[in-house]
Amino acid sequence: VSREAAKRAAARKSCEWVADGMALGLGTGSTAFHVVERVAELVRDGMRLTAVATSRATAEQARGCGIELRELDEVESLDLCIDGADEVDPAGHLIKGGGGALTREKMVALAARELIIVADAGKRVERLGLAFRLPLEILSFGVAHTLRRLERFGEPTLRLQSSGAPYVTDNGGCICDLRLPDGVAAADVAALDRTLRLVPGVVECGLFPDMARRVILGHDDGSVSVTEVS
Ligand code: A5P
C-alpha cells in the first residue's frame, strides 16, 4: 500500500508541470497509471489537453477516462512526456521496458520537449543493471539468432508469458531481458545503448541515456523529491 502511495504521490506531483493547451506523452506502467488518472482530472476541471499514449494499455485507460488521444504521427512534437522507469541512476539515466513498452516509450519521449520520470524511491540505484535485467525489444523473426548474438553482452533470456509462449509487444515483437553481470556505469550508458541498437534483430534498447529532464521520486510516507537533471 505504501509503495502505491509513493507512486501516486510522484505521479500527482509531475502533473504540476502540465499546463492548458499542452500535448502530452503518457507513459506505461503502474506509476504512469496514476499520471493518466490525474491528467483526466485536469481535463474534467476544464484544461484543454491532448495526448499520445506509449502503449495500447495506456491508450485504453486514457480513452476510458475522457482524455483526447492522438497518434504519434498526428503531432509534430509534444510539450511534455511523463513516464515511469524501472531504474534511475544518479546521472538520471534510466532502464525502462519492464512493462514491454520501451520502443514506443522512447519514440514518444524523444518527440517531447521534456521528459519527466515518476517512480517510487526504490527505483533509484547507484548503478544501472545490477538488480534489473535490461529489456530489449527484438524482432520475432530469428529470435534464437538474436539472443545468441546478445550473449557477448551478458545473459539474454526471452521474456515469456505465464502460458510459456513468448511475450508479444504492442508492435508484434519479443522482449529479451539481458542480465548485465556488472551492470553499466553512468559514463557507459549511452555507448552501450548505441551498441545494442546496432545488433541485427534488436529493435530498441531499454537504456534511456540523457533523456530525463526531471526525476520525481515518491516516498512511502507520501512525500516526493524532485531532481532536475542538468
Ligand atoms: C514500461 O515498459 C516500463 O518502461 C515502465 O515505465 C516501467 O516498467 C515502470 O513501471 P512501474 O511504474 O509499473 O514500475
Q: What is the pLDDT of residues 44-84, one digit of tens each?
A: 999 999 999 999 999 999 999 999 999 999 999 999 999 99
Question: What tens digit of pLDDT does each residue of 169-185 get?
Answer: 999 999 999 999 999 99
In this prediction the pTM is 0.97
Task: Give the distance (Å) from ligand 1 centre to CA of residue 91.
Answer: 19
Determine the Cα–Cα distance for residues 117 and 210; give it in Å rounded to an integer.
Answer: 12
The answer to whether residue 1 scores a pLDDT higher than 80 is no
Q: Select which of 16, 71, 87, 105 is catalytic.
A: 105
Residue nearest to atom 7 of ligand 1 (CA): 85
Q: Which residues line ligand 1 (CB under 6 A)?
A: 27-31, 83-86, 96-102, 105
| Average pLDDT of the segment spanning 195-215 | 98
| Average pLDDT of the segment spanning 183-204 | 98
The number of beta carbons lying within 10 Å of the beta carbon of residue 95 is: 28
The residue behind cell 509534430 is: 76
Mutate to test the pocket of ligand 1, among 3, 7, 31 (most ligand atoms within 8 A of CB): 31
| 105 catalytic residue (yes or no) | yes
Tell me the pLDDT band of 230, cut-offs 50, 70 and 90. confident
Strand order in the sheet with 23-26: 68-69, 50-53, 23-26, 80-83, 115-120, 214-218, 224-228
* Percent of the chain topping pLDDT 70: 100
The residue behind cell 534498447 is: 205
Task: Give the distance (Å) from ligand 1 centre to CA of residue 159.
Answer: 15
Strand order in the sheet with 134-138: 155-158, 174-179, 134-138, 202-205
What local confidence, expressed as pLDDT, does residue 100 receive? 98
